[in-house]
């Protein structure tokens, strides 16, 4: 197993400073970059451990606090184990943060993250990959659509509201995406009903995007997040296999 080195970094954006976690193999050789987008609960120890696992596989990984406009992480204080049914006040605090992160802000911030990665001595020349969770799956699509020349692969897991009737629905980015796309949907996810799953894949197909979308049976929204009540170990390991396969094909 490759030893890794993780550190806190600050990324200048057009609207301030985004705090982030950067991790890379300890030999400091430039590696392909992976931009890891958080779920709704934000930058925290579990997401750092996920980034560490990717770095152990040979990648330089950046995990930005996408809610940086509201403060440094943790923006919302969280228990060690997150069970929204037991702690409904968590979503009451997180909800306004989600609503404030509009697609135009996402794309503006993504430009800053991608520029920072391009200038990092730990990142190899060339395009990057993205993996996103929950909210982050939407952010991955907005980023891949806005920066097609910079994003070679985009993965999303247990994303919600991917193909709505909204004029800025994430699936509408498909016509601009040149990356290979992989999405692992949760079948126990009220935020992504069957009709949205179909609309999302139809949009990718119509746009000629190389893609694979799979529905993980028995998985809930949040199945990769081991510090939450939605965690599903079998689905999580399936996600790692799919993600690492995508990265292997890309780099």
Please list the alpha-helical segments (H only) found in the chain: 45-56, 89-100, 103-119, 135-146, 194-206, 233-250
Q: Are 107 and 142 in contact (CB under 8 A)?
A: yes
Q: Hey, what's the torsion of the CAs at 102, 108, 11, 66, to 10 degrees?
A: 20
Query: Is 27 one of the catalytic residues?
Result: no
Q: What CATH number does residue 54 fall under?
A: 3.40.50.1820
Closest CA to 197 of 159, 232, 228, 224: 159
Task: Given the residues 134, 211, 227, 239, select the one marked as catalytic.
Answer: 134
**Domain membership of residue 202 as a residue range:** 4-250
Judge whether 158 counts as a catalytic residue.
no
134 flagged as catalytic: yes
Tens digit of pLDDT at every position of the chain (251 positions): 679 999 999 999 999 999 999 999 999 899 999 999 999 999 999 999 999 999 999 999 999 999 999 999 999 999 899 997 777 888 889 999 999 999 999 999 999 999 999 999 999 999 999 999 999 999 999 999 999 999 999 999 999 999 999 999 999 999 999 999 999 999 999 999 999 999 999 999 999 999 999 999 999 999 999 999 999 999 999 999 999 999 999 99
Supply the pTM of this predicted model.
0.98
Joined tokens for residue 95: 């909800």
Q: How many domains does the chain have?
A: 1
Considering the candidates 221, 227, 236, 239, report the single residue annotated as catalytic: 221
């Amino acid at each position: 197993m490759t030893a890794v080195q993780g550190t806190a970094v600050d990324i200048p954006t057009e609207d301030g400073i985004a705090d982030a976690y950067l991790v890379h193999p300890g030999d400091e050789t430039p590696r392909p970059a992976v931009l890891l987008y958080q779920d709704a609960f934000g930058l925290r120890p579990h997401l750092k451990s996920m980034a560490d696992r990717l770095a152990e596989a040979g990648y330089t990984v950046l995990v930005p606090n996408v809610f940086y406009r509201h403060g440094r992480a943790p923006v919302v204080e969280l228990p060690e184990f997150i069970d929204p049914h037991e702690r409904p006040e968590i979503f009451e605090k997180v909800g306004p943060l989600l609503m404030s992160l509009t697609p135009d802000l996402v794309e503006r911030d993504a430009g800053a993250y991608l520029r920072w990665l391009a200038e990092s001595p730990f990142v190899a020349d060339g395009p990057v990959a993205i993996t996103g969770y929950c909210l982050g799956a939407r952010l991955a699509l907005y980023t891949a659509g806005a920066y097609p020349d910079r994003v070679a692969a985009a993965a999303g897991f247990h994303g919600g509201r991917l193909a709505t009737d909204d004029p800025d629905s994430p699936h509408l980015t498909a016509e601009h995406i040149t990356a290979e796309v992989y999405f692992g949907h949760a079948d126990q996810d009220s935020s992504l009903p069957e009709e949205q799953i179909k609309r999302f894949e139809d949009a990718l197909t119509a746009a000629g995007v190389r893609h694979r979308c799979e529905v993980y049976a028995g998985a809930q929204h949040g199945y990769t997040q081991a510090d939450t009540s939605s965690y599903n170990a079998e689905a999580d390991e399936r996600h790692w296999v799919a993600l690492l396969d995508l990265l292997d094909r890309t780099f």
